[in-house]
Amino acid sequence: MKWKFFSVMKGKQLSDLAEVFVSFEVEKLDGCSVVYFNKVLSGAISSADVLDAYGYVVGPEPRRDFNQFPLKSFMAERYGGDGILNNGGGGRCGFDGVWQLKGVGPNQLVGSDIDPSNVDGNLCLNTAIYETIWSEIIQVILPFGAIQTVAILDTGREYESCGILKRRGLLIRQPAVRPAHFIRATYFREKQLNALSKDAQRVKLAVRRLEEFLPGSATVTCSAYERIELGLLELVKRYAEQFAVSNAKHIAHLNVTASNLSLDGAWLDLSGACLFTHLNIRDKLAVDRFNGEHIPAICSLQDICYYLCKYSVINYYEFTILREKITKGFEQSYFSYLKFYQVAQAGFPCWVLKRIESSKEFALFSDVLSDFLKHDGFLVNPITLGECWAGYERWVARLYLDLLKGKVDKKPADFSWLNADASIIDQLLSGFSELFDRAVEVADGHHVSLQNLYRCMLINITRLNRSHELLHGLKDHIERIGNGPSVDRHTEYHELKNEAVRVAKFNFSIENIISVSFWCGNESYIWFDPMTGMFTARVENNHVMSSHSIFELAGCQKDVKTALRFYREIWSDFNEK
């Protein structure tokens, strides 16, 4: 059956990069069931079709009876870079030309001398669910998203890992071309005498085609070098913004390597993804690793430049120029984006910031804030609003509210709780004040009053610096479903995914429009329009209603009550100004 492939990538796909494939056989596994299925990604393909096509694993031993189970050929992907031990690529994944199957079992790219727990090729079902939910979260809150899961199969079997029995799953996902496909697997041992190893041959052939898989809009009239340069510089900008947003919002990948990124800027292999807070920080090294998550991304592109030169795609002079452009371009873009989104966390609407980010006022406050946040301990405080909402708030929310209220009320705020030098506090106060004045000018030019700009910033400070408890305890929720008595885990996993995406989108999504997200509930979505000062709600049947008073939004009163509790600390300020 020829299936249509729905991909996040444009242009050529993984299936076009035949140079990296190694064929291996898998056998049909009876007893599998579908516990997660993405109907949007699958298109016209049913869950039964997916089960039939991907319920396969590597057999435990050489086959004797070739009529016992049906066989299917998959392709393992050769790739390199750090983070793959001494494997030669994806040691537990297979690609059939449409989607990638993860957890299929060990293939011939598993290296020697690897710990037994890393060579069995298994994938824990709970891990597959966790990775899938985080990929959906990343897809909606980071600029270049994530590689998404098409389906997850429960094999109905268990395996042992570190003395613990775990349920085995199979994850079917979108394929991705990665930087690692163009980098050597230097620790993978191959018996190849008097000739290039197969891994080296793979890189030599693949880098010659790199330009075909890079993002951007280089024209055919450009030289090959120019097309490579334009594509890599576009990828630099994408990686820079992706990691800047994740850092500003404290979203950690925790396993960034050349093989866990795609050539269109997306993340993949998100089994370690989490919200980075003091609750999961063990030591300062963990903080340093989080703040340096972008480094492996730029290193992967530097490595590609090396192999472009090594295999004579570009000359040494072009290599030195290209590597320098990539390195400097990434550093400039990353810190520029990081400062922008750090200031956005302080409540300033993005549509306003985009109009003043080149101003001296923005430079002053963003520099002061960035330096101040270098000492961030990632402290979050628990918040429980009855039974309707529970989660955490970043400690800086109080700072941002004090800065905003002090400016608008024209009353000096008490910053004694901050435990910072008076000079730093003065710089934050003056920098915020000057930037706010510029923001008022921009808002006024778009018919947004000072009062409504203030309201927008109160909303942003509150919602952007809070996070639902579900995102902190996702593993526990998944385990409860897996260990529970339910006979319909498929529905429960989907409901959990939908809820996680809903709360993440509300607390972390980037908005470049004038209207501000006020609440995202189960019954309705409510936003505030600063141009009119009106609240608007869209309820389940897509009916839209507006009112100057949120209390008059009939049809979504449960969500309104929850929202009012969510904003209870600022509600009096919201209405008085």
Tell me how far CA of residue 463 lies from CA of 436, 518, 568, 569, in angstroms.
Answer: 19, 8, 12, 12
**What is the Cα–Cα distance from 344 to 338, expressed in whole angstroms?**
10
**Cβ neighbours of residue 187 under 8 Å, at least 6 residues apart?**
85, 86, 111
Two tokens at 366? 């963003």
**What is the Cα–Cα distance from 491 to 170, expressed in whole angstroms?**
18
- Of the candidates 8, 15, 12, 9, the residue with the CA atom closest to the CA atom of residue 212: 12
Query: How is 355-408 classified by DSSP, letter by letter?
Result: HHTTSHHHHHHHHHHHHHHTT----EEEEEETTTEEEEEETHHHHHHHHHHHHH
- Of the candidates 351, 392, 353, 382, the residue with the CA atom closest to the CA atom of residue 369: 353
At 576 the pLDDT is 62
**Contact, 104 vs 90, CB < 8 A?**
no
Tell me the β-bridge partners of 74: 24
At 162 the pLDDT is 84
Two tokens at 255? 């396993």
**What is the Cα–Cα distance from 461 to 342, expressed in whole angstroms?**
11
- Of the candidates 211, 197, 208, the residue with the CA atom closest to the CA atom of residue 308: 208
Using N-to-C axis directions, what is the helix angle for 316-345 and 450-464, rounded to 10°?
A: 110
**What is the Cα–Cα distance from 349 to 365, expressed in whole angstroms?**
15
Tell me how far CA of residue 466 lies from CA of 348, 377, 382, 463, 472, in angstroms.
Answer: 16, 16, 10, 5, 11
**What is the Cα–Cα distance from 118 to 400, expressed in whole angstroms?**
46
**Contact, 389 vs 468, CB < 8 A?**
yes
Q: Is 249 helix (H, G, I), strand (E, B) or coil?
A: coil
At 2 the pLDDT is 36
At 233 the pLDDT is 97
At 554 the pLDDT is 63
Tell me how far CA of residue 290 lies from CA of 8, 296, 498, in angstroms.
Answer: 26, 11, 27
**What is the Cα–Cα distance from 340 to 249, expressed in whole angstroms?**
12
Tens-of-pLDDT digits for all 577 residues of the chain? Answer: 334 333 444 568 999 999 999 999 999 999 999 999 999 999 889 999 999 999 999 987 555 555 566 889 999 999 999 888 889 899 999 999 999 999 999 999 998 766 555 578 899 999 999 999 999 999 999 999 999 999 999 999 999 888 889 999 999 999 999 999 999 998 888 755 555 688 999 999 999 999 999 998 666 678 899 999 999 999 999 999 999 999 999 999 999 999 999 999 999 999 999 999 999 988 889 999 999 999 999 999 999 999 999 999 999 999 999 999 999 999 999 999 999 999 999 999 999 999 999 999 999 999 999 999 998 899 999 999 877 899 999 999 999 999 999 999 888 888 888 888 899 999 999 999 999 999 999 999 999 999 999 999 999 999 999 999 999 999 999 999 998 887 789 999 999 999 999 999 999 988 888 999 999 988 888 999 999 999 888 876 667 777 778 777 766 778 888 888 999 988 888 776 5
Tell me how far CA of residue 312 lies from CA of 43, 186, 315, 318, 553, in angstroms.
Answer: 42, 19, 6, 11, 66
**What is the Cα–Cα distance from 530 to 348, expressed in whole angstroms?**
13
Give the Cβ contact number of residue 250 at 10 Å: 19
**What is the Cα–Cα distance from 368 to 364, expressed in whole angstroms?**
6
**What is the Cα–Cα distance from 301 to 310, expressed in whole angstroms?**
14
- Of the candidates 402, 520, 399, 392, the residue with the CA atom closest to the CA atom of residue 466: 392
Tell me how far CA of residue 408 lies from CA of 178, 331, 349, 437, 497, in angstroms.
Answer: 49, 36, 16, 10, 40
**Contact, 183 vs 307, CB < 8 A?**
yes
The residue type found at 52 is D
- Torsion on CA atoms 331, 336, 337, 341, rounded to nearest 10: 140
Burial (CB count <10 Å: 0-12, 13-18, 19+), residue 75: buried
Cα 49 off chain centre by: 29
Domain map of the chain by residue range?
14-176, 210-342, 346-472+515-576
Give the Cβ contact number of residue 515 at 10 Å: 17
Cα 68 off chain centre by: 42
- What letter does residue 8 receive in the DSSP assignment? S
Burial (CB count <10 Å: 0-12, 13-18, 19+), residue 177: buried
At 283 the pLDDT is 86
**Cβ neighbours of residue 474 under 8 Å, at least 6 residues apart?**
130, 133, 134, 500
At 541 the pLDDT is 66
